[in-house]
A and B are shown apart, each in its own frame.
Chain A
Amino acid sequence: MMCFKGPVFTTLPSKGAVGDALGINASTERMYGGVFPGMNNTVSHVRVYSALCWAVNTVWVALDGRAISATELRRTMSRMLWKMQLLLSWSATVAGESGFPGKSRFDDAPGTVTLTREAFPEVATSFLEDVWYRPSLVGGFRFLDAGDGRDTGTYRCTPAGERLAQAYEDVALQRLSPTLFTWLKSSEDVACTLKRLEKLRPVLSLTKPDGAEIAAFVKQFYDAEPRRHAGVLLALRSLEALDIDQPGSHSIDRIRHTMAAGMTPFGRLVDVEGVSKIQGQWTVLQLRALQRLALDTMFSLMEREIFRRECNGRSRNQEEVVGGILEALKKEGGAQFLSMPLSGPLEHLKKFQGKHPTLQQASMSDKKHRYYIGDLKARLRSLSTADWATAQPLSLAVQTLLICSAEAQNLAKNPSAAKHLGSDPGRCSLKELASAVQGHLSGTVAEFLTDVFYKFVIGQHLRVAKARSYAVSDGADRFVFALEDAELSRNSVGISADFARPGDTADTLYNVLLLLANSRKLEAAGLDLTDRGPNRVRALFRLKRSGHQMLKKPN
Chain B
Amino acid sequence: MTTLYDIVDAVRPTRAFFSTYTYSAAWFEATLFPLLRNQRGVECEQITVMLERRQARHSLDSAISRFAGTRYRVIAASPKGESSSPGIFHPKVAYLESDEGDVFVVSSANLTIRGQGVALEVVDAVCAAQEPQVFSQVAEFFETLPSRLNLLTPEDRTVLARIAERARAQAGKYADQHEGPDSTWLVTTLTKSAGSQLSDLARHRLNQPAQLTVLSPFFDKDGTAVSSLAKKLGTRRLQLGVSRRPGRGEWVAPFADNPSWDTKVTPPAPENERPLHAKWFDIEDASGRSLVMTGSVNATHQSLWMTKNVEVSLVRLVPKSTVSTWQKVTDRIRFEPSAYPRAEGDFEGLQFAASLTAGAVLEVYFAVAPGIGSVTVALTQNDSVLFRTDCHVRRDNVAAVKLPTAVTEKFSDSPLWAQVAVGSASDSTLVNREESLKMRPSSKNLSGAVDRVNAGDDDDDDALLIAEAAHILLTGRARAPKGRRGKTSSEKQNPTTLQRNDREDGSDEFLTEDEWLAKSQGSAGDAGPTDSITERALEAFGRLLEKEDKVIESRLGEGDDETKGDDVDDVNVEDPDDISGGRAPKKRAPGRNESRTKRANTIESARLALDKRLGRPGPIPDAIARMLLPLKIVGNLSRGIPKSLRNIDTGVELSHEGLTREPLAFLTGLLSTLAKLQVSPGVMEEQLPLVVTAAATVSLCLSRRGLASRDTELRAQLDTIAGRGVTPEQGEAYVRATWGKGTSKRICLFKPDDLVLQLWTILGADSVTSIMDKVLTAAYSPGAGGAGDVTEELAPVVEALLRPPGKKKLYSVIVEDRVTNVMGCPQCGAAFTPEEKSRLRKTQIALCTGTCHRPVFVLTSATALHQFLRQTDAMTSDRRTTKSDAGAVA
Contact = CB atoms under 8 A, between A and B. Distances in A.
B558 interface: yes
B294 A2 contact: no
A224 B654 CA distance: 10
> Which one of A6, A226, A462, A482 has the greatest number of beta carbons of chain B within 10 Å?
A6
A495 interface: yes
Interface string B276-301: 00101000000000001010000000
Contacts of B4: 10
A466 B562 contact: no
Interface size classification for chain A: 35 or more
A9 B26 contact: no
Contact of B2 (A9, A310, A466, A473): A9
B120 interface: yes
Given A6-B318, A9-B120, A470-B34, A463 B647 contact: no
Interface string A482-526: 111110011111110000000000000000000000000000000
Contacts of B63: 455, 459, 463
Given A142-B653, A469-B31, A489-B114, A10 B109 contact: yes
Nearest to A313: B245
A10 B122 contact: yes
Interface stretch (B246-254, B666-674, B833-841): B246-254
B35 interface: yes
A208 to B, nearest CB: 29
Interface stretch (B7-15, B391-399, B518-526, B699-707): B7-15
B185 to A, nearest CB: 13
Contacts of B280: 7
B5 interface: yes
Contact of B653 (A9, A160, A484): A160
B340 to A, nearest CB: 12
B35 A477 contact: no
A8 B114 CA distance: 18
A470 B38 CA distance: 11
Interface in A112-166: 142, 147-151, 158-160
Interface residues of B, number: 83
B127 A3 contact: yes
B376 interface: no
A482 B27 CA distance: 9
Interface stretch (B266-274, B446-454, B610-618, B783-791): B266-274
Interface stretch (A11-19, A357-365, A409-417, A544-552): A11-19
Nearest to B320: A6
Given A150-B559, A493-B274, A6 B124 contact: yes
Contacts of B3: 10-11, 13
A159 B653 contact: yes
A11 B294 CA distance: 16
Given A4-B126, A8-B122, A491-B118, A485 B562 contact: no
Interface in B509-524: none
Interface string B228-250: 00000000000000000111110
B243 to A, nearest CB: 12
Interface string A299-329: 0000000010011010000000000000000
Nearest to B647: A142
A469 to B, nearest CB: 3
B114 A482 contact: yes
B271 A9 contact: yes
Contacts of B274: 12, 493
A475 interface: yes
Interface string A416-433: 000000000100000000
B123 A10 contact: yes
Contacts of A492: 118
B35 A475 contact: yes
A7 B316 contact: yes
B1 interface: yes
A479 B27 CA distance: 9
Interface in B1-56: 1-5, 7, 9-11, 22-24, 26-27, 29-31, 33-35, 38, 55
Closest 3 CB pairs of A and B: A149-B560, A469-B30, A311-B247
Given A2-B103, A459-B64, 19 more contacts: A6-B316, A7-B124, A8-B122, A8-B123, A9-B121, A148-B560, A149-B558, A224-B647, A311-B248, A463-B63, A468-B30, A477-B113, A482-B112, A484-B113, A486-B58, A493-B246, A493-B273, A495-B248, A495-B249
Interface of B: 1-5, 7, 9-11, 22-24, 26-27, 29-31, 33-35, 38, 55, 58-59, 61, 63-64, 100-101, 103, 107, 109-110, 112-114, 116-118, 120-127, 129-130, 245-249, 267, 271, 273-275, 278, 280, 292, 294, 314, 316, 318, 322, 341, 344, 455, 554, 557-563, 647, 652-654, 656
